[in-house]
A and B are shown apart, each in its own frame.
Chain A
Amino acid sequence: MLKFDNVNKRYADAGDVLINISFHLKRGEMAFLTGHSGAGKSTLFKLIALIDRASRGQIFFDGHDVSHAEDHRIPFLRRKMGLIFQDFKLLQDRTVFDNVALPLAVAGYGHHEISRKVRAALDKVGLLGKEKKYPLTLSGGEQQRVGIARAVVNKPPMILADEPTGNLDPELAAEIMTLFTQFQQVGVTVLIASHDIALIQKMDRRVLTLDHGRLIAG
């Protein structure tokens, strides 16, 4: 599903941030990405989400070499990955329904299908009945679940989460992790960047560990 082949990332001001990264995440696999702050987790995340480009090496996503994908192809590749963020990145002036519907609207789905899929996604994360609420009226855990519903509403083959539980207490974090496990069980590839060692150990999954830009385990 996702394959890094000798990927390097160098920034003009920060030097080499990622050095010779190679790993292969199989379809339906669930893995954690960890490391000290500044180890390159965010950069790796950006490369996968095609927010940034690798300086060297190749990245394969869903069978395609995406390291040189043209700009106009990027939106269509992003529709195949559900992105989840530490700060949720919800639109505060839109309802929960509209937030979750955004990826569908962007992909040109009709109203019927949008309505059905949004409900299904909200049902999955346990927020059915809150469609008309605004994100700020929800708790942090609920907001993150809106973010997750948005990420999975289009049924992408891969979910990519950047510190999804960073702002949540352990109990809520555990709930969110359970959700991710459920997605993996239906065949979705899940990659979670996190520095919550305790949580990662409890989950007992593959762990990719970054240290000063190098992959030292995984």
Chain B
Amino acid sequence: MKRKRAVKPEPRPEVPQNKVAGGDFIDKLHAYRDLHAHAFFSSLGRLVDKPFTTALTVGVLAISIALAACFYLLVANIEQLTGTIESSNQISLFLKDTVSEAEAKKLVEKISKNNEVAEIKLINKAQALAEFKVNSGLDAALDALEGNPLPIVLDVLPTPAQSNTAALQKLQQALQHYPEVDEAQMDMQWLERMQSIIRLAERATRSISILLGLGVLFITGNTIRLELHNRREEVVIAKLVGATNRFIQRPFLYTGFWIGFLSGVLAWFIVTVIMLLLWRSVENLSLLYEGSFHLRFLEYGESVFLILLSSSLGVAGSWAVLAYQLRQLRPE
């Protein structure tokens, strides 16, 4: 794939045609700036010149980056979901059948002296039955029963200071020791499981993201290697007229930057489109559960970070390849 166009290739000035005023030093400073500006735009121009190749590379990279971002958002959304649940960490005390309501009231007084408890509510047998009828829809069946099978329940709400799992467990055990209490139940276990699943998902996301990031590094590196190969003649000539490696690698680093940048932007679009597609279903689902859950998109800072990260991965991948290849490449 030698880029030799016989008749009339489009002009690609090596030297930027900017007007420069001032002395020798200023002239050189401007020359340096112009070199960068030129490398910046000409490298983009080269990518645009080969739309098919560029689209393939950028597409592959964008999908990798988008995958990582999607995993990240998935975990972030689940975390947000459990965050709303975590606040309801009450402990239910089911009293023994033999405990009378008067005894239960005494127990309430005793427990409410505990300064780890914020609130305690007594639900007597009749209330429990009424509540159960309403919530279960089994009122006909319950009417058929003789007597009331439900125990007295004390709903204990710990103070916010007790919201971590260990403190809650301690409180639960303390409450369990009252002789009147048949069972002190905490709806925490599933939450704990959930949290450990989230931690696992977070770790998995991190590992997958690192792998995908490495993939991005390798793909840009390989793209730059091919580009270097295609422009070998040019590189050799530049070396023969005294170009430093720094001079030679500059446009290639910018190519790496552009590839990373474009992939980052495309990845952002892919993620946003996926989220928009999910958005309606999630809102509907949330509505069904009377939840206040809203799908979390990439925030502004995260979007900027995504694009910055993919750009720097592009530069890093190119740099690694150039550092190695330019040392290998000798003029003859």
On A, residues with C-beta under 8 Å from B are: 46, 49, 51-52, 71-72, 75-79, 83, 89-95, 97-98, 101-114, 132, 134, 136, 150, 154
Contact = CB atoms under 8 A, between A and B. Distances in A.
Contacts of B236: 89
Given A93-B5, A103-B241, A108 B31 contact: yes
A98 B239 contact: no
Contact of A102 (B17, B18, B233, B237): B237
B12 interface: yes
14 contacts: A52-B332, A72-B245, A78-B239, A83-B241, A89-B233, A90-B237, A92-B5, A93-B5, A94-B14, A95-B13, A102-B241, A106-B242, A109-B31, A110-B28
B319 to A, nearest CB: 17
Contact of B242 (A78, A94, A95): A78
A198 B35 CA distance: 46
A38 to B, nearest CB: 16
B16 to A, nearest CB: 7
B20 A51 contact: no
Contacts of A107: 242
A79 B242 contact: yes
A106 B4 contact: no
B3 A93 contact: yes
Contacts of A105: 14-15, 31, 35
B11 A51 contact: no
Q: Which of B32, B237, B242 has the largest number of chain A CB atoms within 10 A? A: B242
B238 to A, nearest CB: 6
B14 A110 contact: no
Contacts of A114: 15, 31
B331 interface: yes
List the 6 closest pairs (A to B, CB-CB), nearest first: A110-B27, A79-B242, A110-B31, A78-B242, A103-B241, A106-B243
B106 interface: no
Nearest to B13: A98
B50 interface: no
B8 A134 contact: yes
Contacts of B327: 71
Contacts of B14: 94, 98, 101-102, 105
Q: Which of B20, B236, B241, B242 has the largest number of chain A CB atoms within 10 A? A: B241
